[in-house]
Structure 1
Amino acid sequence: MTAPIRIGMVGGGFMGRVHRMAQRLDGEYQLVAGAFSADPDKARSSGEALHLDPDRVYTDFATMAEREAAREDGIDVVSIVTPNHLHAPIARAFIEAGIHVICEKPLAVSLEEALSLRALVKKHGVQLLLTHNYSGYPAIRRARELVRQGALGELRLVQVDYAQDWLSEAGNEGWRGDPTLAGPAGALGDIGTHAWQLADYVVGQDIETLSADLHTFVPGRQLDDAAQAMLRYRGGARGRLSVSQVSPGNNNRLQLAVYGSRGGLYFDQESPETLWFAELGEPMQRLSRNGPGSGPADQHASRVPAGHPEGYLEAFAQLYRDFACHLRGELPADVTLPDVDTGCRGLAFVEAMLASARADSAWTALAYPEE
């Protein structure tokens, strides 16, 4: 029987809890160390709550990386769940210590930082997973498979929308409202990177140019709380991306529609058990997760039979499970995970959006960094 992968965590909060649940779901990981706070009392109490050895509860990530790398039973992987500005420094410390990295998105606060991490990953021979969790949904795996099989024909239109309402009033931003902690993009960096990655993962075509508009609706806020863009793909398709954290009535409405010459598909993250698919001239089909006609990609990402709902946590756990398979050399050949290259592409998208917005929505080239 394969022993669980020893994992550590830097950071905490809501996303820390989500990551720990995802780690536990399939029994692939065992949390053995962590740097949950720079405050010694908070770090200690967090470690006690998680039943960790007090000697493996740290107050800074640099010490954790150094000491865990020196232990025979040290961690194999670290999970980074901190504000954005710390992603790159923490990842750098553990990569240089020879420890694999699982990092919250975005990978860094600039493309320059992301590219430096990519160079380190290749230099030290470690692996990095970026937790764009929506690509863990079986329905999204199936959508990607349908596009690659040519079921939609020549792609024509890509539409992705992500709406939330939790920033409709001032005062809720926390670190996400501080450019020194979140980076130069607000809603764009927080959920816009998710929207971009979801479309990029399913469509499989690069954006060539974009025209972006970023806006801050709430007075006094330093970063954008809404962003929109028109997209031109290299394959000839046209697209639209819209994200907002000031849309009352929306909790986490992430939707993707892709249309081609022979068919179309539609996915709603708040109803993740279903992928809607239509062939031209035929009625819309409701494709249920792991249901009749499901393919290898859908089945690989499903845990229970159709009709037994899976959702957000299972999608998160799927990335963790796939990363464990990847580290063991057992990942199916047709499964692609968001990695350090995805992180670099995402930061290139963010910087092109910012440049276009600064130029009054001028069409701006999106130059993805070579892999």
Structure 2
Amino acid sequence: MNASLRFFSVILCLWASAASAKPLRLGIAGFTHDHVHQILSRPVQADIEIVGVAEPNKELAMRYLKRYKLSESLWYPTLEAMISATKPQAVCAFNSIFEHKQVVDICAPKGIHVMVEKPLAVNTAHAKAMIALAKKHNIQLLTNFETTWYSSHQQAYELIHAKNALGDIRKVVVHDGHKGPQEIGCSQEFLSWLTDPVMNGGGAIIDFGCYGANLMTWLMKGERPLTVTAVTQQIKPDVYPKVDDEATIILTYPKAQAIIQASWNWPFDRKDMEIYGQKGYVVCDRTQQMRVRLGDGVKRDAAEEKREIPTLSAPYNEPFAYLAAVIKGDIKPQKDLSSVEINQIVVEILEAARQSAKTGKPVKL
């Protein structure tokens, strides 16, 4: 290589390095999902720059911007106006599940990547349309679940699939929920659509059933269940007159079952999971805590062991660093907890669960 070629090669490398070091230009669509506080309260870091927020309720937008000492100039009344003025590379949706499709409808043709809060879509028709647009316009379409960033879940996956410590999965039991969104003090803006059967698709069955559907589909490496059976109840119809507040979903596979217990009636907040295999079990009872009991299926089993799991390393420890890494090409989200491959099936499971609860019969996928 002559001197001129070496010079230009160095310049290109420096340019590429500088480009990758620039923060991700992030827009926010909607302030009505209380999870928006995750991004608004995120400490200033070099990887993310909030360039604009789109929220038709100006009073709500200004209240939150003031609370987090962010400039009021970030606010725009519509997503189209925000995109036109600020040119974001990605948009995070913090509005109703029904509105996720509209965000993708607007962003995808402009080449803007999208991350939505769980679940991906309100129904399978929306999900298919969103995924088709994402593929057509070559954008990333990710779904954020709190439980994605639990180090205990990632450790359990490694025990099962990398180390084969449990043998084949036989049963998974997932518990998710709290006392109820009104009882724990969710904002009125959040409650207005979270308890609406159209805008959210259901109550606890969607709000917390999606976690178990996401985790089980991931543990099964994207395998669809054979059947989905669900039972829902309105234990508090005076509080939640339009949607269920209690749900149990059962998924069957050729040689495994999952029981997803989603509730707005737990006495305490919980997000925990039990995984039982041929040779042992893992209980992920907190973000960084696990209980493990292993055997070989023949000899006497070992005693249960409590394990403290270290936090995940960046960018796998939280959604926004992960989003930036995906867009930069550092991570390829293929069949991971945030991917479209997994989350399309999650929406299929939730839709089948609603149908099963309505008809009282199992639904085949």
The TM-score normalised by the length of structure 1 is 0.81
Partner of 2:287: 272
Q: 119-128 vs 206-215, which deviates more?
A: 206-215
Alignment deviations for residues 258-291 of structure 1 (CA, whole Å, 9 cap, x no partner):
11111110112xx31112221120122223223x
Partner of 1:217: 235
1:288 to 308, 328, 331: 308
Cα distance change, pair 104–211 in 1 and its aligned pair in 2 (3 A): same
Partner of 1:156: 170
* 8 Å contact kept, 1:43–1:58: no
Alignment deviations for residues 143-165 of structure 1 (CA, whole Å, 9 cap, x no partner):
11111121111221111111311
Across the aligned residues of Structure 1 and Structure 2, the Cα RMSD in angstroms comes to: 2.7
Alignment deviations for residues 3-50 of structure 1 (CA, whole Å, 9 cap, x no partner):
21111111225311113335x475421111111x31445545655655
Give structure 1 stretches of 5+ with no counterpart.
69-73, 291-297, 304-313, 367-371
2:289 maps to amino acid: T
Partner of 2:216: 199
* 8 Å contact kept, 1:157–1:238: yes
1:209 maps to amino acid: T
Matches of 1:206 and 1:227, distance apart in 2: 20
* 8 Å contact kept, 1:66–1:97: no
Partner of 2:52: 33
* SS, match of residue 181 in structure 1: coil
Cα distance change, pair 94–333 in 1 and its aligned pair in 2 (3 A): closer
Partner of 2:106: 93
Matches of 1:192 and 1:87, distance apart in 2: 18
Alignment deviations for residues 322-356 of structure 1 (CA, whole Å, 9 cap, x no partner):
22222222227999341233332111011110111
1:63 to 59, 81, 96: 81
Deviation at 1:139, TM superposition (A): 1.5
Matches of 1:339 and 1:26, distance apart in 2: 25
* 8 Å contact kept, 1:159–1:240: yes
Matches of 1:33 and 1:20, distance apart in 2: 12
Matches of 2:336 and 2:309, distance apart in 1: 19
Cα distance change, pair 168–77 in 1 and its aligned pair in 2 (3 A): closer
Partner of 1:338: 338
Alignment deviations for residues 303-340 of structure 1 (CA, whole Å, 9 cap, x no partner):
6xxxxxxxxxx98x523222222222222799934123
2:343 maps to amino acid: G
Larger of the two Rg values belongs to structure: 2
Pairs within 5 Å for 1:97-176: 97-149=110-162, 150-166=164-180, 173-176=191-194
Matches of 2:150 and 2:342, distance apart in 1: 17
Pairs within 5 Å for 1:240-279: 240-247=259-266, 249-251=267-269, 253-268=270-285, 271-279=286-294
Alignment deviations for residues 222-268 of structure 1 (CA, whole Å, 9 cap, x no partner):
1111111222113x112212111023x212x1221111111110112
* SS, match of residue 194 in structure 1: helix
Partner of 1:324: 324
1:8 to 17, 27, 31: 27
Partner of 2:10: none
Cα distance change, pair 38–139 in 1 and its aligned pair in 2 (3 A): same
Alignment deviations for residues 96-121 of structure 1 (CA, whole Å, 9 cap, x no partner):
22111111112221110110000000
Partner of 1:77: 90
- Answer yes or no: is 1:227 the counterpart of 2:213: no
- State the identity as a percent: 23
Partner of 1:309: none
Give the length in aligned residue pairs: 331
Cα distance change, pair 224–42 in 1 and its aligned pair in 2 (3 A): closer
* 8 Å contact kept, 1:32–1:75: yes
Pairs within 5 Å for 1:289-304: 289-290=309-310, 301-302=312-313
Deviation at 1:65, TM superposition (A): 2.9
Alignment deviations for residues 157-176 of structure 1 (CA, whole Å, 9 cap, x no partner):
11111131125879974321
Matches of 1:26 and 1:152, distance apart in 2: 39
Cα distance change, pair 93–277 in 1 and its aligned pair in 2 (3 A): same
Deviation at 1:216, TM superposition (A): 1.4
The TM-score normalised by the length of structure 2 is 0.82
Matches of 1:82 and 1:52, distance apart in 2: 21
Matches of 1:25 and 1:199, distance apart in 2: 34
Give structure 2 stretches of 5+ with no counterpart.
1-17, 296-300
